[in-house]
């Protein structure tokens, strides 16, 4: 089985290898028991668009499915979100709103509505309303790459964080996939100048809603942290580079999803041409895309994720002008048509998010950034053969993926990890490629600015077994979501192994204190030093955390030298 670094899922969205949905083990409540149900006594508050009614959720107040913008279907498809339409009376906000259009079975929210193109709603969890308090606001961008997910997934329910740490938590639904990132700027002209970044503009609109409304919910609009995991982290990267978002947030957090580069316009336009061809629409008739049922865009995406369908078939013109380079790290990182994600359009994103430097727009925004130690155990979970590799198989796979770069990569890992098995070395190589090297590079570039950077590696090991192997997920991708949100009682990727509760207390404490003050701290855990390119201090998160200086430094230097 080839390493995941050869799979389309690892290539989607350029440097952020985060497209594969992380929703593997759905949180299942016992019969008649709801983990995140909103119950009475009910509470009413006034927003700028109308009055809403919420309720109680595990020690906090919860308001769900609140519209923060208007309809983005019909003639508003592929455009910036319009203002929300005010309503009369009291709107029920005790149940989740609709997630964005996506494939089936990819969200796990309590009482979650059906997928809808009109999905621009958000959820708020707070200790109290209209009390005049100025609590930090933590705005979460959900994961699932740029393809799946919702702000209502159980394990990211914000009630526990709000009640335990006196913060206000907000989570948004926003456009995904081709409906969120299809670029029509070169074909559709001025009417579609902001297309290609619809999903990012949605999150920015939600931040505008926070600025206008969050004081009513006990939050401080002058102390807003934007953060996310996996695709949510990549979205955070794009938001940090978007001029329209500046002044709407004051801190940022990135978990396992460094987006250094976005889609170039020419690559994004080629993807659009393939979409048009798939629907038998001439480029000059692009307006007919407004008539295509939303479900057909999702079907195109699902085929592309399997390496099938019109998006994966190269046009002759593109193929002639962009011949496939030989295998290498650089070739693997190169953007390719048929994918979707934020676009460097010159308007919403004037530049790549973090290449070649961090955006000057966020020079004074503190950043908390990190990744899981064994990210790739998750990405390979459906390929048991990977976990039975011997040294010869690992060599063959790395050579196939990296060509002339393979020798240096293998030599480095055999020197730095002489006692590791071939599977462990393979996991480490793929983890560095998918998340680790980009995380280090982004932290380096952000550390060149005045605001502090705090970098971590999460080492907590899940005991969830990987079917057909003697492996568990270990410190794999996405096991930290429930840990960060203090929702470890919900069955999911984190498992139920020793040290789980203490790890959750440490991680949630660090994240929420960062939201409060810009400096992460946690009871009973070590002080967290700032990250710089001299010492490269990294907090190793676990039930008992510790600080390490440039862990895996030789590997980091090798990947950065290869351009990863």
Question: What global pTM score does this model have?
Answer: 0.95
Of 22-26, 43-47, 422-426, 463-467, which range is least confident? Answer: 22-26
What average pLDDT does the segment 83-109 reach? Answer: 94
CATH number of the domain within which 427 lies: 3.40.50.1820
CA dihedral 351, 356, 357, 362 (to 10 degrees): 20
> Which of the four pLDDT bands, split at 50, 70 and 90, describes residue 34?
low
Cα angle for residues 439, 443, 449 (degrees, 5° grid): 160
pLDDT at residue 108 tops 90:
no
pLDDT at residue 541 tops 80:
yes
Q: What is residue 325's predicted lDDT score, i.e. its pLDDT?
A: 87
- Structurally, the chain folds into a number of domains equal to 1
Number of continuous H segments (helices) and E segments (strands) in the chain: 18, 15
Burial 222-239 (b: 16+ CB within 10 A, else e): ebbbbbbbbbbbbbbbbb
Q: Is 127 within the bounds of a domain? A: no
Residue 400 and residue 410: Cα distance in Å, rounded? Answer: 12
**Can you give the residue range of the structural domain that contains 544?**
357-561
Q: What is residue 35's predicted lDDT score, i.e. its pLDDT?
A: 76
Cα angle for residues 338, 241, 143 (degrees, 5° grid): 55
pLDDT at residue 13 tops 70:
no
Q: 41: cis peptide before it, omega within 30°? A: yes
Q: Is 456 within the bounds of a domain? A: yes
Of 67-76, 297-306, 323-332, which range is least confident? Answer: 323-332
Residue 365: closest CA among 234, 245, 220, 535: 245
Q: What is residue 57's predicted lDDT score, i.e. its pLDDT?
A: 92
Residue 323 and residue 546: Cα distance in Å, rounded? Answer: 47
Q: What is residue 319's predicted lDDT score, i.e. its pLDDT?
A: 86
Mean confidence (pLDDT) of the chain: 93
pLDDT at residue 367 tops 50:
yes
> Which of the four pLDDT bands, split at 50, 70 and 90, describes residue 512?
very high
What average pLDDT does the segment 544-554 reach? Answer: 97
> Which of the four pLDDT bands, split at 50, 70 and 90, describes residue 324?
confident
| String of DSSP letters for 355-366 | SSS--GGGTT--
Q: Do the beta carbons of residue 268 and residue 78 sit within 8 Å?
A: no
Q: Is 158 within the bounds of a domain? A: no
Q: Is 500 within the bounds of a domain? A: yes
Handedness of CA 245, 249, 250, 256 (dihedral sign): negative
Residue 486: closest CA among 463, 511, 460, 465: 511
Residue 402 and residue 483: Cα distance in Å, rounded? Answer: 35
H-type alpha helices, 325-365: 329-333
More confident residue, 476 or 3: 476
Q: pLDDT tens digits, residue range 162-198?
A: 999 999 999 999 999 999 999 999 999 899 999 999 9
Q: Is 479 within the bounds of a domain? A: yes
Element (H or E) spanning 379, and its range?
A: helix 375-379
What average pLDDT does the segment 546-556 reach? Answer: 97
> Which of the four pLDDT bands, split at 50, 70 and 90, describes residue 6?
very low
Helices 294-305 & 265-278, crossing angle to 10 degrees? 110
Q: Is 213 within the bounds of a domain? A: no
Tokens (6 digits) for 158: 């914000």
Q: Is 450 within the bounds of a domain? A: yes
Phi first, then psi, for residue 462 (nearest 5°) are: -70, 150
Q: Is 487 within the bounds of a domain? A: yes
Residue 210 and residue 143: Cα distance in Å, rounded? Answer: 20
pLDDT at residue 15 tops 90:
no
């Amino acid at each position: 089985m080839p390493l995941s670094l050869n799979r389309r899922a690892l290539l989607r969205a350029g440097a952020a290898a985060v497209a594969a949905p992380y929703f593997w083990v759905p949180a299942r409540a016992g019969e008649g028991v709801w983990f995140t149900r909103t119950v009475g006594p009910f509470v009413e508050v006034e927003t700028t668009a109308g009055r809403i009614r919420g309720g109680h959720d595990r020690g906090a107040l919860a308001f769900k499915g609140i519209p923060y913008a208007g309809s983005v279907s019909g003639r508003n498809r592929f455009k910036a979100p319009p203002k929300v339409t005010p309503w009369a009376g009291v709107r029920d906000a005790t149940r989740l709103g609709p997630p964005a259009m996506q494939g089936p079975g990819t969200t796990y929210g309590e009482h979650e509505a059906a997928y809808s193109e009109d999905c621009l709603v958000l959820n708020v969890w707070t200790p109290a309303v209209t009390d005049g308090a100025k609590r930090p606001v933590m705005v979460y961008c959900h994961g699932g790459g740029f393809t799946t997910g919702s702000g209502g997934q159980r394990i990211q329910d914000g009630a526990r964080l709000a009640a335990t740490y006196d913060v206000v938590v907000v989570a948004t639904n926003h456009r995904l996939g081709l409906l969120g990132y299809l670029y029509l700027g070169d074909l559709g002209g001025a009417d579609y100048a902001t297309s290609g970044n619809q999903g990012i503009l949605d999150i920015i609109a939600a931040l505008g809603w926070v600025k206008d409304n969050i004081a009513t919910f006990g939050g401080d609009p002058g102390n807003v942290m934007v953060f996310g995991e996996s695709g949510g982290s990549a979205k955070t990267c794009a938001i940090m580079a978007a001029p329209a978002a500046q002044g709407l947030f004051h801190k940022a957090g990135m978990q396992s999803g460094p987006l250094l580069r976005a889609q170039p316009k020419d690559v994004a336009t080629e993807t659009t041409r393939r979409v048009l061809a798939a629907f038998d629409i001439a480029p000059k008739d692009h307006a007919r895309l407004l008539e295509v049922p939303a479900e057909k865009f999702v079907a195109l995406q699902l085929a592309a994720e399997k390496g099938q369908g019109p998006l994966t078939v190269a046009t002759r013109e593109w193929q002639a002008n962009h011949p496939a380079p030989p295998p290498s790290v650089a070739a693997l990182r190169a953007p390719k048509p048929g994918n979707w994600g934020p676009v460097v359009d010159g308007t919403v994103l004037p530049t790549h998010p973090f290449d070649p430097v961090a955006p000057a727009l966020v020079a004074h925004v503190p950043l908390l950034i990190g990744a899981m130690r064994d990210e790739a155990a998750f990405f390979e979970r459906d390929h048991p053969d990977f976990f039975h590799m011997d040294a010869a198989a690992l060599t063959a796979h790395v050579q196939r993926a990296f060509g002339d770069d393979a020798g240096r990569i293998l030599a480095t890992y055999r020197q730095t990890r002489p006692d590791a098995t071939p599977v462990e070395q393979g996991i480490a190589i793929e983890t560095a490629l998918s998340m680790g090297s980009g995380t280090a590079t982004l932290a380096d570039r952000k550390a060149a600015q005045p605001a502090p950077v705090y970098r971590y590696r999460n080492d907590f090991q899940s005991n969830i077994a990987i079917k057909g192997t003697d492996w568990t997920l270990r410190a794999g991708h996405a096991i930290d979501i429930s840990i960060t949100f203090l929702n470890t009682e919900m069955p999911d990727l984190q498992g139920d192994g020793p040290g789980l509760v203490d790890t959750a207390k440490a991680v949630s404490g660090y994240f929420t204190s960062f939201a409060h003050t810009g400096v992460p701290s946690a009871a009973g855990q070590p002080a967290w030093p700032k990250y710089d390119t001299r010492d490269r201090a990294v907090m190793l998160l676990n039930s008992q955390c510790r600080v390490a200086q440039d862990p895996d430094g030789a590997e980091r230097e090798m990947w950065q030298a290869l351009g990863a």
